[in-house]
Amino acid sequence: MADGGSVGGSSDVEFATSTTHEWNHGLGETIAAAQRAGLVFDSLTEHDSAPWNALPGMMSEDAAGEWRLTADPRRLAAPFTLQAHKPVMPGVAGPSGMPA
């Protein structure tokens, strides 16, 4: 878990809520768990690089500081970003504690 003003290595965007949670799970496992939890997907983005050197000796850093496999970068299972939210049910307290 990390807490900071921006999300992503090269983003200039500031978020009001900036806590991120990171786990090493596959895309299918993550999607299925989010669906079981009743989350609604807002966006899903696969990235062709990672902001860290996940496989030392097998990756090359680009000019923006992102890391890709040196040989055939398409072979790497890409990091992804899933944004989702829990829908507010009428009459049920939302994040503020007040009923929706």
Q: Tell me how many degrees the CA angle 74-78-79 measures, rounded to the nearest 5.
A: 160
The H or E element spanning position 33 is helix 27-36
| Whole-structure pTM value | 0.55
Domain boundary assignment for the chain: 2-85
pLDDT along the chain (100 residues), means of 10: 48 70 79 93 88 88 91 76 87 59
